[in-house]
């Protein structure tokens, strides 16, 4: 069954959607969209380094993303530039460095568009194994750190005072983000990973009554967007990443419609 490239892409995409759902919720709650962007842009530098040093691309992307996340933490402590300036600096300089470094590799033919926007043709059985093993690891760690991570999302001081070690939880969250970017790069591409993190989570917000429910709904919406997007990509020969994001956007807009509001609205408890 996995002989078919499209089935491989579907299986891989569903695996990615299951991991980005809960992490996307945390990104939205913590207002870290730009941070996610910065990490995913730096992934291209990881690709370039992997080709240069002839090492595994997924591993190199993970290492570069983790290093960028750590350097951001260090730079924020010194705080000579504001956080958003730092993020902009890191995001675009690492993207530019990656593009320049790729140009210096004359012997390597690189499908740049595939890295930037995702490529369903490129998904191998090994990629699926990496996505599912990496994804399972991310979800498992997330279950273990969920309470301190969520408490730190609501209020860092409170979590700290009540002995939850939120600083450690935040550090683990950075590594989870780096892992997710490394494993989802082939499906959505580095430029659009943040969109796949944010849009299903934002859509889920309107339907959810609690944080955990929102994470689960984001997973379901992510899977629907991946399946719809990949079919669209196959049908109209469009790059897979943008197709998935467009599908997610359509579901977001549908959830805004008044009809959706009637379904989700609880029966009124008071008069009028």
Residue 158 found at the interface with another protein (CB under 8 A) = yes
The stretch near another protein (CB under 8 A) out of 11-19, 79-87, 143-151, 180-188 is 143-151
Answer for which of 54, 74, 109, 157 binds another protein (CB under 8 A) is 157
**189 with 239: CB under 8 angstroms?**
yes
When the beta carbons of 82 and 165 are compared against another protein, the nearer one is 165
Q: Is 51 exposed, middle or buried (0-12, 13-18, 19+ CB in 10 A)?
A: middle
**Given 50, 164, 218, 247, the residue binding another protein (CB under 8 A):** 164
Indicate whether 33 belongs to the interface with another protein (CB under 8 A): no
- Closest of 176, 178, 188 to residue 139, by C-alpha: 176
Instruction: Compare residues 54 and 269 and give the one whose CB is closer to another protein.
Output: 269
- Cα separation of the two ends of the chain: 57
Residue keyed to tokens 């796949």: 196
Nearer to another protein, 62 or 150 (CB): 150
Residue among 64, 86, 202, 245 that touches another protein (CB under 8 A):
202
Alpha helices, DSSP H only, in 104-210? 112-117, 125-154, 156-161, 166-188, 193-205
* 28 forms part of the interface with another protein (CB under 8 A): yes
Sign of the C-alpha dihedral computed for residues 126, 128, 134 and 137 taken in this order: negative
Q: Find the binding residues for another protein in span 206-235 (CB under 8 A).
A: 208-211, 213-214
Is 161:155 a contact under the CB 8 Å cutoff? no
Quick one: tokens of 267?
């029966």
Residue 257 interacts with another protein (CB under 8 A): yes or no: no
Of these, 162, 253, 257, 261, which contacts another protein (CB under 8 A)?
Answer: 162
Which residue in 155, 257, 261, 264 binds another protein (CB under 8 A)?
155
What is each CA distance from 201 to 33, 100, 230, in whole angstroms? Answer: 12, 34, 19
Q: At what angle do helices 57-78 and 33-53 cross, to 10 degrees?
A: 130
Q: Which is nearer to another protein, 123 or 145 (CB)?
A: 145
The answer to whether residue 142 forms part of the interface with another protein (CB under 8 A) is: no
Residue 159 sits in the site that holds another protein (CB under 8 A): yes
Q: Which one of residues 59, 81, 154, 257 is an interface residue with another protein (CB under 8 A)?
A: 154
Judged by CB, which is closer to another protein: 20, or 208?
208
The Cβ of residue 214 has, within 10 Å, a number of other Cβ atoms equal to 24
Least distance (Å) between residue 262 CB and another protein: 19
Q: Which helix (H) or strand (E) covers residue 219, if one does?
A: helix 211-236
153 sits near another protein (criterion: CB under 8 A): yes
The CB-based long-range contact list for 103-110 (8 Å cut-off, 24+ gap) reads: 104/52, 105/48, 105/51, 105/52, 108/51, 110/47, 110/51
Nearer to another protein, 95 or 197 (CB): 197
Residue 147 within binding range of another protein, rule CB under 8 A:
yes
Give the whole-angstrom CA distance, residue 136 versus residue 126.
15
Site residues (vs another protein, CB under 8 A): 28-29, 31, 147-148, 150-151, 153-155, 157-164, 201-202, 205, 208-211, 213-214
């Amino acid at each position: 069954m996995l002989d078919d490239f499209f089935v491989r892409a579907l299986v891989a995409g569903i695996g990615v959607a299951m991991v980005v759902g809960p992490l996307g919720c945390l990104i939205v709650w913590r207002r870290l969209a730009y941070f996610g962007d910065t990490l995913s842009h730096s992934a291209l530098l990881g690709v370039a380094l992997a080709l240069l040093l002839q090492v595994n691309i997924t591993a190199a992307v993970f290492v570069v993303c983790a290093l960028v996340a750590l350097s951001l933490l260090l730079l924020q402590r010194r705080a000579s530039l504001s956080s958003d300036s730092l993020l902009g600096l890191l995001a675009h300089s690492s993207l530019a460095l990656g593009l320049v470094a790729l140009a210096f590799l004359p012997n390597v033919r690189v499908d740049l568009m595939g890295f930037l926007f995702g490529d369903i043709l490129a998904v191998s059985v090994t990629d699926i194994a990496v996505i599912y093993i990496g994804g399972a690891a991310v979800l498992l760690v997330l279950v273990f750190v969920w309470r301190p991570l969520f408490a730190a999302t609501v209020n860092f001081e409170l979590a700290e005072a009540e002995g939850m070690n939120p600083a450690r939880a935040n550090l683990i969250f950075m590594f989870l983000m780096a892992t997710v970017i490394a494993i989802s790069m082939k499906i959505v591409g580095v430029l659009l990973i943040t969109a796949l993190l944010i849009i299903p989570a934002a859509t889920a917000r309107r339907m959810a009554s609690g944080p955990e429910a929102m994470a689960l709904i984001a997973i379901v919406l992510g899977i629907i967007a991946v399946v719809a997007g990949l079919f669209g990509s196959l049908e109209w020969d469009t790059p897979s990443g943008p197709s998935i994001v467009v599908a997610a956007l359509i579901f977001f807009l549908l959830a805004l419609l008044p009809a959706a509001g009637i379904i989700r609205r609880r029966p009124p408890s008071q008069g009028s």
